Amino acid sequence: MGLPEQDSGIWADDDLAQSGERAIVRESFLRLKPAPEHLPAMDAFGVPVAVCGFEAVRDWFLHAAELRGRFPKVILFAGARSLARATKDAAHRNRLLRADVILGEGSTVATYAKLAAAPMRERFDAVATLERLLASVDSDRPLRVFLCGDDAKRTAVAKKVIEARFPNVKIVGAADARANASISEDVNEARTDVVLVGMSDAEAWIEENMPLLDVGVVVGVGDALDAISGMKKTKLAARPLGVVAAILFMIRATLYLAFPSRPALPLNG
């Protein structure tokens, strides 16, 4: 087909990569790329939640970021609220299941892991995990990151803060994803390694846009971008479960683990 040689999923011909011809090639050829190894996970109501340590997540993330190509890898964070929602909302559950890595947030998910005899080596708070991942980028291989938010001002602030704090991370774009209809084209033209999606319904946005993106990894980080930029807003989805909801969650967890075929216990968390 006369296509340029590939090396780890990245075009070797840099002139082509930066020219309009790349768009034509991207439309006409699906690039297959080797997948990073699967990370160990536990069954949390049918959703695979990672139980490995940060080092394994870091290595997986950096490896996947290098394999820029169509149909990127996806990382999502899931706390008790998200898992509880997945038991009632089929669309949300399917979005979680399409992710390559799901990282568990919060003490309730950690307690579930203990009940499942699959204790988590670490809890992955979205803000702390994102900061650790960005800090681990090697100067020999800078990371090209595009920020997709739902507020142009906060996203612009996040861009400045991240570049100041993490010198090996280059923010190649920052935009309000809801207001920019051509954002996938902007992401691809910027030769992006990683897209950070900082909005409350990140899973839905990722599902809609992932087939259009030519990147290595897409990460749904929710409010983490706001937190890093110092402009965090308090949202219901970011708050921990209430006491009653947490108790119902653990009852449901006990029943699911003991009797997997049992009907779902309603959750109102």
Lowest-confidence range among 16-20, 136-140, 191-195, 196-200? 16-20
Q: What is the 3-state secondary structure (H, E, C) of 125-180?
A: CHHHHHHHHHHCCCCCCCEEEEEEECCHHHHHHHHHHHHHHCCCEEEEEEEECCCC
The model's pTM is 0.80
Section 10-24 average pLDDT: 41
Measured N-to-C along each axis, helices 152-165 and 126-135 cross at an angle, to the nearest 10 degrees, of 50
Lowest-confidence range among 71-85, 124-138, 166-180, 234-248? 234-248
Section 233-243 average pLDDT: 54
Spatial separation of the C-alpha atoms in residues 36 and 41, rounded to whole Å: 15
Model pLDDT for residues 34-43, shown as the tens digit of each residue? 556 789 999 9
Instruction: Say what the pLDDT of residue 22 is.
Output: 42
Spatial separation of the C-alpha atoms in residues 171 and 144, rounded to whole Å: 6
Which parts of the chain fold into alpha helices (H)? 14-17, 21-28, 54-66, 80-86, 90-97, 107-115, 126-135, 152-165, 183-189, 202-209, 224-229, 243-258
Q: How many residues does the chain have?
A: 269
Q: How many other CB atoms sit within 10 Å of the CB of residue 142?
A: 14
Model pLDDT for residues 94-142, shown as the tens digit of each residue? 999 999 999 999 889 999 999 999 999 888 999 999 999 999 999 999 9
Share of the chain above pLDDT 70, in %: 78
